[in-house]
Amino acid sequence: MSEVWRALTGVQTEPPGWAVLLVALVALAVVVWSTSWQLSRGLVTIAHEGGHALMALLTRRKLQGIRLHSDTSGVTLTRGRPTGPGMILTAASGYVAPSLLGLGGAWLVSSGHVTALITVVLGLLLCMLLLIRNLFGVVSLLATGGAIFALTWYSPPDVDAVLAQLAVWFLLFGGVRPILELRRKRRYGRTPDSDADQLARLTGLPAGFWIFLFLLVALACLAVGAWLLSPLQLSSLSSLLR
C-alpha cells in the first residue's frame, strides 16, 4: 500500500512550454471543428451525465440509472421530490460538470499529480459503469476507460503528462460549446425539455438566466484552468515543489 500511495502522490515533471501550448491548440481545434467535435462530444456527455448522477447522490435522491445514446445525448434518471433544492441542484449540475472536472484536472496536472488524475478518472468511470442502463452506454464507458488505461499504462511518464494536459484542455474547451449550442437551439424552440427549461419551471427564473449562469461558470473554469496550465505558472509551481 505504501508503494501505491507513493505512486499516486508522486510528482511528475511538467511538459515543456511549447508542448503545453501545442496541446491546448489541438484540444481547441478538436472542439471547434465540427467533425472532430461530433466524434469526441460523447466524452463531454459522459461528464455531463456524471455530474447529474453525483449531485443526485449528494442530495440524497434515488439514482435509478444513466443512459448514453449514439447521438451523443444522455439522460440520468432519479427519483425523489419533483421540486426543491435537491432537484434544482441535480438539474443544474450537468452543463457545468465538464468544466468543473477540467478545472480540477488542471489543478492536479499543474501540481504534477498526473497519476492521481488518471486514477481518479478511471475510478469515476468505473463507478459510472455500475449505473449505466443501456448497452451503448456500457460500450462507451468500457472503450473510454480501456483507452485511457492502455495509453497511460504503456506510455512513459512524460507522455502521460501530455495526454493528461490534452484531456484537461478538451474538458475546459468542451465544457463551453454545449452551452452555446443549447442557447442556439433554444432560439428555434428545439429543446423544450433542456436542463435550463427544467430549471426555469422549478425556480421561476427564465431559462436564459440559467444558460448565462452555465456559461459564466464554464468561462471562469476555462480562465482559471488556462492560468493554472500556462507555461509560466507551471514553471513557478515546479520551482516551489523543488
Which is higher by pLDDT, 142 or 19?
142
Residue 212, pLDDT score: 96
Residue 241, pLDDT score: 46
* SS3 call for 15: coil
Q: What is the pLDDT of residues 46-72, one digit of tens each?
A: 999 999 999 999 999 999 999 999 999
Residue 230, pLDDT score: 83
Which is higher by pLDDT, 144 or 6?
144
Contact present, 210 and 200 (Cβ < 8 Å) = yes
Mean confidence (pLDDT) of the chain? 88
Cβ-based neighbour number of residue 230 at 10 Å: 16
Residue 170, pLDDT score: 97
Mean pLDDT of 207-235: 88
pTM: 0.90
Between 24-38, 82-96, 149-163, the lowest mean confidence (pLDDT) is in 149-163
Position 26 confidence tier, pLDDT thresholds 50, 70, 90: very high
Q: What is the pLDDT of residues 135-185, one digit of tens each?
A: 999 999 999 999 998 888 888 878 888 899 999 999 999 999 999 999 998
Cell readout for 185 is: 437551439
Q: What is the percent of the chain with per-residue pLDDT over 70, rounded to a whole number?
A: 90
> How much of the chain is helix, strand and coil, in % rounded to 5?
75, 5, 20
d(CA 242, CA 237): 9
Q: What is the pLDDT of residues 92-127, one digit of tens each?
A: 999 999 999 999 999 999 888 888 899 899 999 999
Residue 2, pLDDT score: 61
Cβ-based neighbour number of residue 49 at 10 Å: 23
Position 240 confidence tier, pLDDT thresholds 50, 70, 90: very low
Residue 128, pLDDT score: 94
